[in-house]
Amino acid sequence: MPELKIIADEKIPFLSEFFSTLAILDTLPASEINQKNIKNYDALFVRTVTKINDKLLEGTKIKIIGSMTSGIDHIDRNYLRRNKIKLLYAPGSNARSVAEYVIASLLVFAKIKKISLKGKTIGIIGAGNVGTKVAQMCEAIGMRVLLNDPPKYNRTKNKKYLSFKKFSDADIITLHIPLTFRGKYKTFHLIDEEFLSTIKPGTILINTSRGAVIDEKMLIKFRKKLGGLIIDVWENEPEINIELLKTTDIGTPHIAGYSLDGKFNASYIVYKKLCKFLEIRPNIKKNDVFPEINEKKDVLIIQNDIFNTLCRTILQIYNPLNDHKNLFRMIGFEPRARRKYFEDLRRNYPVRREFPNYVLRMSDRLSSLQKLVEIFRSLGFKIEV
């Protein structure tokens, strides 16, 4: 078999570590991935910013697409099937990253609004890798969880998957669904005028899935009905709706899944899948490339207040308001500069590590706060007494 030639988006992390021994590896900026530049390669590795379709691939030698992403709505799968092009991607790779974003956003929102999350009901639309992880974390901090997932319900008939009608009592609704445009389970503009008119006033809405699962015009129309709005994904990225951004409590540039751990997981999953496809035994171990950091953080216990202790600890590790403030700056830009700014925020996103990389050092009052310890462990932290 001739040596494989891979062309890849230069911003995909760990490319050399995983793929340089399997193939001739070249990289390009995402903006330069076009038909001309990829035509003589066997495999193309991309992120969500690159649309994979006939316009890009027709007339090229590409027979393998590697997408270092959990979602694949940027890929024309029918075209790939018709042309016998193998698709490798990484479902679930950034599930923890997105779930941590949701928890951190809820904590900071609750702190700002001076409300308690304990006992609040959160409706999770989509119970896949991300939705399941969000459910686990929300239950850990004392929230009541409702699940909606019509495909899973129809497969399993499990009554834990509820209809939208049961979400009318939810205090918070969070979206974790793929973007699909047709079929029985179409999600394009799932959150529409009808849906928004039926939720109770004061509901907090969170979207970290794909922008187009919400009809943004209707969202703006119903904004005053909502008690809070946390948006990470937008229709027509990177040319996002500035009027919608202005109304958000937390608005970020599609980075919920952008932990370094999540990016590593995506590359590692695609590496293992490529090895399997090539009938090669993987010879690179996870810890060889990406060891845990085990960074230590002191937990300042605030007057036996579990919520404020959680909030203070987690926000020193990741505070989504920093991303919100960075995105908000684009409001003052000229329209033509906004697109580049949005892309630059994603392209140059700072390193963010997930909770299991941190060791929390507790005070000697540990015995009186065993519940707090259990919560931190449920969220993935290590504990040092």
Residue 383, phi then psi, degrees to nearest 5: -120, 135
| CATH number of the domain enclosing 160 | 3.40.50.720
Same domain, 66 and 129: no
Position 323 in a domain:
yes
Please give the pLDDT value at position 365.
Answer: 59
Same domain, 304 and 375: yes
Position 243 in a domain:
yes
Please give the pLDDT value at position 56.
Answer: 97
Same domain, 232 and 328: no
Cross-sheet strand order for the sheet of 204-207: 144-148, 121-125, 172-175, 204-207, 228-231, 250-251
Active site positions, annotated: 210, 237, 254
Give how far Cα 233 sits from Cα of 197, 269, 342, Å: 22, 24, 11
Position 8 in a domain:
yes
Domain with 104, as residue range(s), is: 95-251
Same domain, 118 and 53: no
**95-113 and 306-317 are packed helices; what angle lies between their axes, rounded to 10 degrees?**
130
Enter the pTM of the model: 0.93
Residue ranges for the chain with pLDDT beneath 50: 1-2
Position 289 in a domain:
no
Closest by alpha carbon to 292, among 380, 362, 349, 354? 354
Please give the pLDDT value at position 366.
Answer: 55
Same domain, 10 and 139: no
Same domain, 120 and 84: no
Please give the pLDDT value at position 298.
Answer: 86
Position 68 in a domain:
yes
Residues in a beta bridge with 124: 147, 174
Please give the pLDDT value at position 364.
Answer: 61
Same domain, 369 and 316: yes
CA 239 to chain centroid:
19
Same domain, 52 and 182: no
Place of tokens 């963010």: 352
Same domain, 79 and 105: no
Please give the pLDDT value at position 368.
Answer: 56
Please give the pLDDT value at position 1.
Answer: 41
Q: Are 83 and 281 in contact (CB under 8 A)?
A: no
Please give the pLDDT value at position 123.
Answer: 98
Same domain, 32 and 158: no
Same domain, 318 and 196: no
For the chain, report the end-to-end CA distance as a whole number of angstroms: 56
Same domain, 234 and 104: yes
**95-113 and 260-278 are packed helices; what angle lies between their axes, rounded to 10 degrees?**
160
How many domains is the chain partitioned into structurally? 3
Distance separating alpha carbons of residues 203 and 361, to the nearest angstrom: 36
